[in-house]
Chain A
Amino acid sequence: MKKSLRYLIALFVIFTLNFFIPRAMPGDPLANLLGEDYVIDEASLADLRAELGLDRPLPVQFLRYWSEILRLDLGYSFRFHDRVTHVIGARLPWTLLLVGSSILLGACMGTLLGAFSGWSRASLKNRTGTVLFLSVYSMPPFFLSLLLLYVFAFRLGWFPLKGVYASGEWTDILRHFFLPVMSLTLYLAARYYLIMRGSVIQERDKAYVLYARAKGLFGRRILFRHVFKNASLPIVTLIALDFGFIFSGALFVEIVFSMNGLGTLIYDALLARDYPVLQGIFLIITVMVVVANAAADAVYPLIDPRVRKGV
């Protein structure tokens, strides 16, 4: 209960920050609120200023801002000639699909491989894995995407070079989605691989592992019956905390693969300096980060009895 209050406060603060950004930045606040991709004459400019309430005192503007937010109105985009909520709403499902499938695949891949690697320390295979994931971990997501795109689409020609759907058939969508999902999956897997590896190495020397061994269990059995559970639980909270980071990664992957998601939207909005769209995306991602964290808080006691009993 106390935590949900915290999340509400956080949302309030971040949304308030978002109110002040265009008003505090250099330049005409009108341009900052509308974006710079429009041509209007002086008279209607004054009208717009009045319509947006920019001639009113700041507290009035602030109340207005909140009443708009609560009515789910994020403003109008001159670049896309549509309401910001519509523009974002049309792209959001594609980004969510990319993010969702990559989190699932990446978390599984990272935790499993990381667990194996941490369990059986020093083999050559192990080292290669660690070096490989360490390099991926150190890559900006857009370069990882560029690399995969160059090798598998351009050199080998196995996948299309851009776009989400050419014909709209699901096999086609799958073919277009494979490399982007692969990029984000590897990017996330690298992160969870290193963390999981570290925590398995720590768990490995604990008393309960020794006990399991004394009981007659051996090798992989101990890893999956006992160690894996303890080491992988924190990853759930971590994924939730990482949500903003994961989304940011997805944006860059989408830009490289020219996918029809929020990433390319940001790119277009940047070129046109369409500030309402940029801010709208910021707010939507903020809300999702908060929701993901609240969800993790709700789920965590179900999977970890230690928290449930308050031990």
Chain B
Amino acid sequence: MKAAGPAFSRTGLVLFLVFFIAALFADILAPFPPQERFAPYTPPDGTHILGTNDLGHDILSELIFGSRVSLLVGFGAALIATILGLGIGLVSGYFKGAADHILMGVTDIFLLIPRIPLIIILAAFLRPSSWLIGLVIGLLWWTSTARIVRSRVLQVREMDFVLSARCLGFSHRHIVFSEILPNIIHLVLPKFMLTIATAMIAEASLSFLGLGDPGMKSWGMMLNFAFQKGALVNGLWWWLLPPGLCITLIVVAVVLIGLSWEERETAGIAAGG
């Protein structure tokens, strides 16, 4: 995939920073504590910039606190998925042979699992916390990273500097971590960002089904309540649209950053050979 140009990556970075700061300083930035109650169904005005919901909670404050869940689950899940995918891809590509056969067999099976339906089942049984949701997403979304890493490692391991390291008698561990890893990390980083995007969408989708962490109100959960309580048929747009737009914008930000890194990478290959 290719996006276009530095304008895109700058937009992504700025958007991302906005959400990151909102999450970091939610206590200071939110105009009201998210649990404080005012008159319900207030349309946007001077005091409540985005109005209030059915319980009288200030929607802007809920939005600002909601960014924490999205970033937390997105980063946590992507970190687990990337470490798993990186490990499996490295072992598979470097050692080849039986290890490769087994690991790629497992990867092929994981690729066929319908992930969202599986997570729905697990979440229904477990009534989960944000941590658990992040963990399960991470454990299911490593396959494409593993495949990309493996195919690149297969190339890198045949290169001269790896051969000379082997001739000098370095251990496998040294070769994998000091010779090969630095040469694939630029491939993994954009993939990491795109995995964050997928994880954020998965978290929002689960919360929309009412399977989110009851202790942390995420944007998906806000949409779930708004949808169930008829925000749409009553035209309460300020309750319905902002959480969805926030999810979209934060995912756009992460995707733009990921795509621009990916593009820099392919441009590097084209120029450097």
Binding site for B on A (CB under 8 A): 6-7, 9-10, 13-14, 21-22, 25-27, 32, 118, 121-122, 127, 130, 134-135, 137-143, 146-147, 149-150, 154, 161, 194-195, 197-198, 201, 241, 244-245, 247-248, 251-252, 255-256, 266-267, 270-271, 273, 275, 278-279, 281-282, 285-286, 289-290, 293
Q: Chain A residues with Cβ under 8 A from B247's Cβ? A: 139-140, 143
| Cβ contact within 8 Å between B112 and A282 | no
The answer to whether B125 and A275 have CB atoms under 8 Å apart is: yes
Beyond A21-B125, A138-B255, A146-B223, whether A241 also contacts B120 by CB under 8 A is no
Kindly provide the distance from the CB of A293 to the nearest chain B CB, expressed in whole angstroms.
7
Interface string of B105-121 (1 = CB under 8 A from A): 10011011111111011
Would you mind naming 11 contact pairs between A and B with Cβ atoms under 8 Å apart? Answer: A14-B109, A135-B252, A138-B255, A139-B247, A140-B244, A142-B223, A146-B240, A146-B244, A197-B1, A244-B114, A275-B124
* B4, B112, B124, B205: the one within 8 Å of A252 (CB): B205
Interchain CB contact under 8 A, B124 and A278: yes
B210/A270 in contact, CB under 8 A: yes
9 further A-B pairs in the complex, CB-CB below 8 A; given A244-B116, A270-B211: A25-B126, A134-B252, A139-B244, A140-B220, A150-B237, A244-B115, A255-B209, A282-B117, A289-B114
**Which residues does chain B contribute within 8 Å of A198, judged by CB atoms?**
1-2
Q: Which residues of A contact B124 (CB under 8 A)?
A: 270, 273, 275, 278
Interface flag for B271 (CB, 8 Å): no
A248 touches B115 (CB 8 A): yes
Task: Contact check, A147 vs B244: say whether CB atoms are below 8 A apart.
Answer: yes
Q: B122 contacts which chain A residues (CB < 8 A)?
A: 21
Q: Which residues of B contact A146 (CB under 8 A)?
A: 223, 227, 232, 240, 244
| Contact residues of B between 43 and 60, Cβ < 8 Å to A | none
Q: Is B3 at the interface (CB under 8 A from chain A)?
A: yes
A195 — which chain B residues lie within 8 A by C-beta?
1
- Complexed CA–CA distance, A282 and B116 (Å): 9
**Assembly CA distance A161 to B234 (angstroms):** 12
> Does chain A have a CB within 8 A of B88?
no
CA of A284 to CA of B3 in the docked complex: distance in angstroms? 36
Report the count of interface residues on B (CB-CB < 8 A).
Answer: 46
Please tell me if the beta carbons of B126 and A26 are within 8 angstroms of each other in the complex.
yes
Q: How many A-B residue pairs have CB under 8 A?
A: 143
**Complex alpha-carbon distance, A21 and B205, angstroms:** 22
- Residue in A6, A21, A252 whose beta carbon sits within 8 Å of that of B208 in the complex: A252
Contact among A140, A147, A275 with B121 in the assembled complex (CB-CB below 8 Å): A275
Pairwise interchain contact A138-B108, C-beta atoms closer than 8 A: no
A244 to B128 CA separation, bound complex (whole angstroms): 23
Which partner residue on chain B sits nearest A7 by CB separation? Answer: B112
Please list the 6 inter-chain residue pairs (A to B) with the smallest Cβ-Cβ separation, ordered nearest first.
A244-B114, A248-B116, A143-B244, A138-B251, A25-B125, A198-B1
Query: Contacts of B4 on A, CB cut-off 8 Å?
Result: 121-122, 127, 130
Is there a chain A Cβ closer than 8 Å to B248's Cβ? yes
Q: CB of B204 within 8 A of chain A?
A: yes
Closest chain B CB from A9 CB (angstroms)? 7
Nearest A residue (CB) for B207: A140
Inter-chain CA distance A175–B159, complex, in Å, is 60
Complex Cα spacing A208 to B115, Å = 40
B118-162 residues at the A interface, CB under 8 angstroms:
118, 120-122, 124-126
Instruction: Please name all residues of chain A whose beta carbon is closer than 8 Å to the beta carbon of B103 when the two chains form the complex.
Output: none
Q: Are B121 and A256 in contact (CB under 8 A)?
A: no
Given known A-B contacts A10-B112, A244-B114, A278 and B120 have beta carbons under 8 A apart: yes
Report how far A247 CA is from B220 CA in the complex, Å. 19
- Encoded as 1 (CB less than 8 Å from any A CB) or 0, chain B from 227 to 266 comes to 1000011010100110010011101100110000000000
